[in-house]
Structure 1
Amino acid sequence: MTSSIRLIIKTMYKNLSQKEQAIADYILENPKKVSHSSISDIASELEVADSTIFQFTKKIGYNGFKDFKMAMLMQENDLSAISFHENIQKDDTELTMAQKVFDSNISSLTDTRKLLQEEKLIEAVDLIDASNRLFLFGVGGSEIVATDTYHKFLRSPIPVYHSSDYHLQLMEASLLTPDDCAIFISHTGRSKETIMIAETAKKIGAKTIVITSQISSPLAKLGDVTFISVSEETEFRSEALASRISQLSIMDSLFVILMFRNQDQAQESISKVRKVIAKIKD
């Protein structure tokens, strides 16, 4: 397993049981200690059975505790480098608060970039490029990401559609065809509205791309291709808000790859947009 243990835990955390979250917290807070401890040592420290620790390592993708411990030793620097810069304190100066917000965004982008896989990027752009129409779906805060993506893809050679109203989105989903591609954005991957839209699209046979922060969420499982955005919740700043910049960057990446793949058509589309916009600018 090449993915960072820290990132795996962060993307699965909300889907872990309370006991499993306690194990996850202990691992993230004591990486060096865990990597040099036996399964019995950790179980005793957490007052759980050895089998509970073993099953936890299986759940996050390892063959067992020995496989997990080997990965811990190999990734010790990554785990020890966990930064707590996002914990803004009341007595921080305004500049320090702003810097911590920037640091948190940088951390989200860095973590999300580590999870990117070239084959998934290629597959996603293949689906978009081969589609007759591209539809964007998201509700609440995710609708903002969908709107921004719509604004970008209007410059692409692919016809793109997006409605901010949920009922209109549901109606659009019902009119999709197997030749269309739909992108679904949801931080938790558990939005009932977005899941219903995605299920409607899947039944019809439309191609689906999902962007979420929860790898085990119901929505993630509905994607032909699924991208994971990583973020952490801070006081006065929800995890969903922090993940937005990572989601926007994933969409930027898909857009740029698509445009370079279709340079001639892309230049023509951009030229048309710039020409009409120029008329209303000084």
Structure 2
Amino acid sequence: MNRNTIAIKIKSIYRDLNDRQKKIADFIIENPDAVMHGTISTISDTLGIADSTFFRFIQKLGYAGIQEFKIALAKPGESNNNPSIYEHVQSSDDELTIARTVFDSNIKALQDTKDLLNADSFKKASKILNAAHSVYFFGISGSGVIAYDAYHKFLRAPIKSEFNFDYHIQLMMASKLTENDCAIIISHSGLTKETIQLAKIVKENGGKIIVITSYSLSELAKYADVCFISTSEEIQYRSEALSSRITQLSILDSLYVAYMFNNEEKANESLKKIRKAITNVKSKPDI
């Protein structure tokens, strides 16, 4: 954990903070040295808040206390750039410059998401998947494309996988989950009503839920047994929702690879069957 990670964490919760909490968040981002060298009392006095309010905000970021928070704040990290400042494509840029800007944006999003990865979350998610009889993927619109990619990937795994683009069918699928099943639900905003309804149904039926979102305090995240945060960089003509795809895919890739390694013998047998079926329909090159 370092200063850059703290800034990324703040970004992931900022939208859902109240005005007082946003005031604290802004102060930390704009005055990291003052926070690092101050006490809870001096910082709280400066902000005009109670000591307990500042302490609860630190806990919301995932830190046990002020000392742990200051240690992280003291580490500059690989990048000192404020994650709320993006490099925009300029009208004078040529095609190669535009391409490099897009690549840089994706690389930064991946690095920021990597910095937020939590060992406990991956262990818990792996435990859920390893124990599950089946895994269902849910997502609406653009998130549905990500869910479909994950479904396509997990078809190679020795676990029953389900997905459908039709929302009504997703609702029916969600109603059939049991405590022996896992739902992986994807939503950049975590506010999509349809996705939240799916999570409610899964939870009511006892299914385990892994959520992938960009907002850890979102309504959807509240239903998660495990929540992964996918950060993203917005550039001109490409919203955060679109650019979060690459980080969402990377989290899903990680879950897939971990599952395959945890179930290596069955995974190898499943891959053999898949490869044999696909090989039989591939055209052979002319000799």
TM-score range, shorter chain: 0.7 to 0.9
Encode CA deviations 1:120-148: one digit per residue, 9 max, x unaligned: 21211111121111111110111011000
Question: 4+ residue stretches of structure 1 with deviation over 4 A?
Answer: 18-23, 29-44, 66-69
Aligned-residue sequence identity (percent) comes to 46
Superposed displacement of residue 55, structure 1:
3.7
Contact map agreement 2:2 2:77 (CA 8 A) in 1: no
**2:158 aligned residue:** 157
Asked if residue 117 in structure 1 is aligned to residue 115 in structure 2, the reply is no
Q: Is the 8 A contact 1:39 1:50 kept in 2?
A: no
CA contact (8 A) 1:9 1:60 kept: no
1:275 has 2:254 as partner: no
CA distance 1:68–1:18, shift in 2 (3 Å): farther
Q: Which residue of 1 aligns with 2:229?
A: 228
TM-score, normalised to structure 2's length? Answer: 0.84
TM-score norm. by structure 1 comes to 0.86
For the Cα contact (< 8 Å) 2:88–2:236, is it kept in 1? yes
Change in Cα spacing, 1:139 to 1:60, as seen in structure 2 (3 Å) is farther
Cα deviation for residue 49 of structure 1 reads 4.6
Structure 2 distance, partners of 1:254, 1:80, is 29
The alpha-carbon distance between structure 1 residues 179 and 55, as it changes in their structure 2 partners (threshold 3 A), is same
Written as runs of structure 1 = structure 2, the 5 A alignment for 1:54-65 is 55=53, 58-61=56-59
The equivalent residue for 1:8 is 9
Distance 1:33 1:260 in 2: 46
2:218 paired residue number = 217
**Other structure's SS at 1:233 match:** coil
Q: How many residues align?
A: 278
> Considering only aligned residues, what root-mean-square deviation do their CA atoms show, in Å?
2.9
Matched, 1:186 2:184: no
Match of 2:80? 80
Change in Cα spacing, 1:2 to 1:72, as seen in structure 2 (3 Å) is closer
**SS of alignment partner, residue 272 of structure 1:** helix
1:22–1:49 CA distance, 2 compared to 1 (3 A): closer
User: What is the CA distance between 1:87 and its match in structure 2?
Assistant: 2.2
Matched with 2:175 is: 174
CA distance in 1, matches of 2:79, 2:24: 15
Contact 1:35 1:72 in 2 (8 A): no
Pair 174,266 (structure 1): closer, same or farther in 2 beyond 3 Å: same
Cα deviation, 1:58-85, whole Å, max 9, x if unaligned, reads 4243688x65983575134557344756
Q: Which amino acid aligns with 1:280?
A: V
Question: 1:197 offset after TM fit, Å?
Answer: 0.6
TM-superposed CA distance for 1:37, in Å, is 7.8
Contact 1:86 1:101 in 2 (8 A): no
Structure 2: tracts of 5 or more residues without a match: none
What are the equivalent positions in structure 2 for 1:186-205 lying under 5 Å apart? 186-205=187-206
Q: Alpha-carbon deviation of 1:86?
A: 3.2
Displacement, 1:57?
6.4
Q: Which runs of 5+ in 1 are unaligned?
A: none
1:70 has 2:70 as partner: yes
CA contact (8 A) 1:132 1:159 kept: yes
Question: How has the CA–CA distance of structure 1 residues 21 and 97 changed in structure 2, closer, same or farther, with 3 Å as cutoff?
Answer: farther
| CA displacement at 1:218 relative to structure 2 | 1.2
**Aligned counterpart, 1:245:** 246
CA contact (8 A) 2:40 2:54 kept: no
